[in-house]
Amino acid sequence: MLLFRWLILLTLIGAAVCFAFYAGTGQVRYKRWGLVTLKWTLIAAFGFFAVLILQRIA
């Protein structure tokens, strides 16, 4: 579980770095990479926490 939390944190940091590159360079590809990374990170995080909630209920 700790591994998944670290992976989620690292991918969020990666998305933030992509947005920082976009702010610094103005290249749209960094914004697109940041949005894609953020989208899949949030999907994975919601899935991870849904499993944790289901474990608590059962």
Q: Please identify which residue in the block is written with the tokens 């949030």.
A: 42
SS3 58: coil
Cα 4 to Cα 24: distance, rounded to the nearest angstrom:
30
Number of structural domains the chain divides into? 1
Cα 58 to Cα 7: distance, rounded to the nearest angstrom:
26
pTM: 0.82
Domain with 33, as residue range(s), is 2-57
State pLDDT tens for residues 2-44: 898 899 999 999 999 999 999 999 999 999 999 999 999 999 9
